[in-house]
């Protein structure tokens, strides 16, 4: 873990654009660069944006893409807005995504990037000390089509989801427009870290029934005993 962070820092400090963001409190998700640079996306939906880690590396790889990011927590959203205040192609939506329109509790963690719409299990907080719950808040939840409104999705589009166990709920709320995306990039877990979360094999099966197949697994995280915990799963439409 230490060496991965060191490599990431080296990648960031070699790039003035990313250094500028780091000085404002955001370390770009450089671990996603190798996955992204093989594509040419014009439109990206970034669900679970936090401070803009994924949006930053997306902007670096796709300088002309339109990015719509979703972050329901005020504190990371405030930093996100500082980073992208002068970028007209980045829009931040201050809500969570899910199956239906409602107000629901989000479980806020000490390190807010582990916050989830699902209760946090001891397994998660033991592995990641910053994932200990500190409070709950009420946030707005919307299906993606309602959140985007009249915004059209072009063919070369990516849907990224990193929502700490709530992935299947987000996907179910996207089902009416899921076929608009050519690729999906989703953080999935092999073990239950949040109460009631769908595991990787369930998400793979659900997406296969909707014409998406698994085309790669990246950035795997392992326990000390060598067991895989989670990773970033890339899905493509079967006709791609």
Backbone angles phi, psi at 216, to 5 degrees: 180, 150
pLDDT confidence band for 66 (50 / 70 / 90): very high
Rounded to the nearest integer, the mean pLDDT of the chain is 94
Extents of the domains making up the chain:
2-237
Determine if the pTM surpasses 0.85. Answer: yes
pLDDT confidence band for 83 (50 / 70 / 90): very high
Sign, CA dihedral 108-55-25-75, equals: negative
For 57-71, the DSSP string reads: HHHHH-TT-EEEEE-
pLDDT confidence band for 68 (50 / 70 / 90): very high
Per CATH, the number for 2-237 is 3.40.50.150
Question: How many angstroms separate the CA atoms of 155 and 120, rounded?
Answer: 36
């Amino acid at each position: 873990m230490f060496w991965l962070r060191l490599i990431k820092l080296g990648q960031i400090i070699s790039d003035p654009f990313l250094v500028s963001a780091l000085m404002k409190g955001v370390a770009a998700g450089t671990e996603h660069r190798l996955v992204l640079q093989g594509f040419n996306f014009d439109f990206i939906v970034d669900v679970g944006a936090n401070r803009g880690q994924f949006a930053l590396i997306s902007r670096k790889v796709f300088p002309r893409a339109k990015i719509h990011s979703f972050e329901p927590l005020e504190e990371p959203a405030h930093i996100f807005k500082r980073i992208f205040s002068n970028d007209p192609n980045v829009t931040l939506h201050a809500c969570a995504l899910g199956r239906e329109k409602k107000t629901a509790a989000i479980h806020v963690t000490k390190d807010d990037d582990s916050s989830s719409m699902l209760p946090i299990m001891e397994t998660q907080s033991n592995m990641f000390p910053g994932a200990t719950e500190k409070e709950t808040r009420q946030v707005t939840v919307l299906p993606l089509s309602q959140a985007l409104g009249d915004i059209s999705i072009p063919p070369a589009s990516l849907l990224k989801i990193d929502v700490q166990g709530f992935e299947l709920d987000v996907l179910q709320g996207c089902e009416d427009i899921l076929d608009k995306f050519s690729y999906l990039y989703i953080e999935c877990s092999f073990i239950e870290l949040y109460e009631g979360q769908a595991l990787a094999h369930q998400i793979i099966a659900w997406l296969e029934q909707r014409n998406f197949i698994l085309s790669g697994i990246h950035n795997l995280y392992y326990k000390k005993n060598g067991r895989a915990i989670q990773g970033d799963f890339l899905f493509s439409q079967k006709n791609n």
